[in-house]
């Protein structure tokens, strides 16, 4: 099949490139470690000229040969590449935000190859405590068409990660979202606090230890809050109730359990006695499996895993921006 679009998911630590055909079908994909904070260094020839710009070098490594074969392919990119530290800043769009609005707000830069790179803006939620996302908006918009058939109208989209996002959608728009720094806090506590001193990373997943952490967070003991219960990751080890190899998964369950308990509390205050919404998860399969397990323990319905959300979202945004022929996105 003939390629119609190059789509880049360009974050802080990684760069994923997709060559897409009609309907957003993936012809080829690549993953590089050239995130915006670890760009290539040195100099090499790009498009017949020496170049030392890290963004240009990473871009050429990701898709230069694709553009050699098809120089007219449109290019779209989402993620931290559009941040203030990125290749070109793409200002945030305010909620509620949909595909059409974001597609018309792309920021364009001309690469050394002479190819235009169209960068997706992030989304900002203005409030007393403002919230932002950059990259997740593309995943959410890519998952929406699939959700209508599988999850119905009452749905909450979760994007687990360093800064987990929980997104409420309405009428095809990103309406509201909350951020939890769960993944980053786990890394900081494990690597830079006393909790990590007694941890030993095991090879497998300790489901019993993880479930115990979730249970503590969602129980009466957890009501005092994570600043208190976190110390149990050390005290249970000191008393012999938790082995060193079980402590990382216990801590993971504890943090995720507190995140989901807080989320459930907010939703119940919003919804009264009504049921909790259906959950759709987008992200790394192993991390989503942990969240799915914890969601069930916290009283949420069974979670659905959305696949290929990023590349589908980039296809839809390119379509909305008029970068390609309007071919319906194909879903399995």
> Would you kindly state where each structural domain of the chain is located, as residue ranges?
3-178+307-320, 181-301
Q: Is the pLDDT of residue 48 over 80?
A: yes
Q: Of 49-63, 91-105, 315-329, which gets the smallest average pLDDT?
A: 315-329
CATH number of the domain at 3-178+307-320, please?
Answer: 3.30.420.300
User: How confident is residue 151, by pLDDT bands cut at 50, 70 and 90?
Assistant: low
Q: Is the pLDDT of residue 327 over 50?
A: no
**Neighbour tally for 128: CB within 10 Å:** 4
**Neighbour tally for 211: CB within 10 Å:** 17
155 is written with which tokens?
Answer: 């749905």
pLDDT tens profile 197-222: 999 987 899 999 999 999 999 998 88
Position 55 scores a pLDDT of 98
CA proximity to 174, closest of 317, 75, 70, 270: 317
What is the biggest distance separating any 2 CA atoms in the chain, rounded to whole angstroms? 66
Position 167 scores a pLDDT of 97
Position 290 scores a pLDDT of 97
Q: Does 276 or 187 have the greater pLDDT score? A: 187
User: How confident is residue 331, by pLDDT bands cut at 50, 70 and 90?
Assistant: low
Check for a shared fold between 3-178+307-320 and 181-301.
Answer: yes
pLDDT tens profile 106-144: 999 999 999 999 999 999 999 999 999 999 999 999 998
Position 318 scores a pLDDT of 97
Specify the DSSP class assigned to residue 195. Answer: G
Position 5 scores a pLDDT of 97
On the question of a cis peptide bond just before residue 96, with omega within 30 degrees of 0, the verdict is: yes
pLDDT tens profile 63-109: 999 999 999 999 999 999 999 999 999 999 999 999 999 999 999 99
Residue 117 and residue 123: Cα distance in Å, rounded?
Answer: 19
Helix (H, G, I), strand (E, B) or coil at 56: helix
pTM: 0.91
**What percent of the chain has a predicted confidence (pLDDT) above 70?**
96
For 180, phi then psi, to 5°, come to: -125, 125
Residue 22 and residue 38 in contact, taking contact as beta carbons nearer than 8 Å? no
User: How confident is residue 302, by pLDDT bands cut at 50, 70 and 90?
Assistant: confident
Q: Is the pLDDT of residue 326 over 50?
A: no
Q: Is the pLDDT of residue 38 over 70?
A: yes
Q: Is the pLDDT of residue 33 over 60?
A: yes
**What percent of the chain has a predicted confidence (pLDDT) above 90?**
83
Q: Does 274 or 287 have the greater pLDDT score? A: 287
Mean pLDDT of all residues in 326-331: 50
Write the DSSP string, 74-143. Answer: -EEEESGGGSTTSSS--PPEESSB-HHHHHTT-EEEE-TTS-EEEE---EEE-SSS-EEESSHHHHHHHH
CATH number of the domain at 181-301, please?
Answer: 3.30.420.310
Residue 313 and residue 143 in contact, taking contact as beta carbons nearer than 8 Å? yes
What's the Rg (C-alpha) of the chain? 21
């Amino acid at each position: 099949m003939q390629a119609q679009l190059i789509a880049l998911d360009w974050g802080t630590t990684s760069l994923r490139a997709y060559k897409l055909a009609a309907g957003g079908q993936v012809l080829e994909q690549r993953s590089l470690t050239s995130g915006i904070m670890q760009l290539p260094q040195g100099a090499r020839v790009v498009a017949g000229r020496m170049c030392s710009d890290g963004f240009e070098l990473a871009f050429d490594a990701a898709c230069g040969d694709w553009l050699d074969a098809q120089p007219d392919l449109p290019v779209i990119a989402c993620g931290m590449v559009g941040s203030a530290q990125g290749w070109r800043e793409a200002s945030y769009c305010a909620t509620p935000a949909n595909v059409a609005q974001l597609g018309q707000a792309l920021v364009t830069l001309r690469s050394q190859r002479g190819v235009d790179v169209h960068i997706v803006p992030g989304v900002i939620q203005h409030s007393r405590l403002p919230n932002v996302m950059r990259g997740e908006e593309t995943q959410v918009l890519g998952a929406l068409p699939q959700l209508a058939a599988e999850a119905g109208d009452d749905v909450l989209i979760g994007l687990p990660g360093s800064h987990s996002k929980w997104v409420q959608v309405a009428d095809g728009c990103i309406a509201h979202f909350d951020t939890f720094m769960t993944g980053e806090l786990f890394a900081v506590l494990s690597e830079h606090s006393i909790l990590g001193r007694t941890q030993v990373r095991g090879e497998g997943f300790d489901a019993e230890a993880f479930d115990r952490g979730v249970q503590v967070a969602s129980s009466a003991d957890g009501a005092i809050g994570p600043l208190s219960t976190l110390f149990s990751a050390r005290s249970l080890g000191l008393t012999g109730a938790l082995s060193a190899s079980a402590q990382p998964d216990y801590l993971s369950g504890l943090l995720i359990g507190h995140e989901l308990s807080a989320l459930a509390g907010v939703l119940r205050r919003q919804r009264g006695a009504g049921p909790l919404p259906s959950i759709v998860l987008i992200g790394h399969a192993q991390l989503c499996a942990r969240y799915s397990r914890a969601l069930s323990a916290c009283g949420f319905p069974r979670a659905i895993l959305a696949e290929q959300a990023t590349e589908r979202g980039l296809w839809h945004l390119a379509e909305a921006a008029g970068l390609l022929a309007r071919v319906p996105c194909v879903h399995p």
